[in-house]
């Protein structure tokens, strides 16, 4: 990866990083040969890339302009990206698999999972793109 230009590393980071938590979330279903695993993979990837485009890409460009390239700034951005993913799913009323109270509890439990997933994504992006080395 040392031969890649900074812009190529950023593109690679945007392509690879959103898939990391998606694969981790779907891996148990894949290993158990669950028939819904591929549908879950597509659903989570759609949400992950959507939040990446809506939140992370514009803020990454702003961070580059302001020279806020530390890992801490990107971890904070990841938490914001995870919150955006949670809000995207909630806004479109996507199912949380369960009637009544179970659905509400699942919705609330998904907030920390989405936030941690967003932080993981931006950590992976930062590790691949290394925006701190642009200076």
Query: How far from 62 is each of 16, 17, 34, CA to CA, in Å?
Result: 21, 19, 41
Count of domains in the chain?
Answer: 1
In a domain? residue 1 = no
Write down the pLDDT at residue 93: 64
In a domain? residue 119 = yes
In a domain? residue 135 = no
Whether this prediction's pTM lies above 0.95 is answered by no
Per run of 10 residues, the mean pLDDT along the chain (length 135 residues) is 82 92 87 87 86 84 89 90 80 56 67 87 91 75
Domain interval for residue 82: 6-129
In a domain? residue 78 = yes
């Amino acid at each position: 990866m040392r031969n890649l230009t900074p812009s190529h590393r950023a593109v690679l980071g945007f392509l690879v990083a959103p898939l990391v938590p998606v694969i981790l979330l779907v891996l148990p279903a894949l290993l158990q040969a669950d028939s819904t695993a591929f549908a879950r993979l597509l659903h989570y990837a759609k949400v992950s890339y959507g939040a990446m485009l809506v939140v992370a890409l514009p803020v990454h460009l702003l961070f580059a302009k302001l020279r806020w390239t530390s890992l801490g700034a990107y971890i904070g951005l990841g938490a914001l990206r995870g919150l955006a993913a949670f809000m995207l799913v909630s806004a479109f009323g996507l199912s949380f698999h369960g009637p009544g109270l179970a659905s509400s509890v699942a919705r609330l439990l998904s907030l920390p999972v989405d936030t941690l997933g967003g932080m993981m994504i931006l950590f992976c992006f930062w590790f691949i793109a290394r925006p701190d080395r642009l200076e």
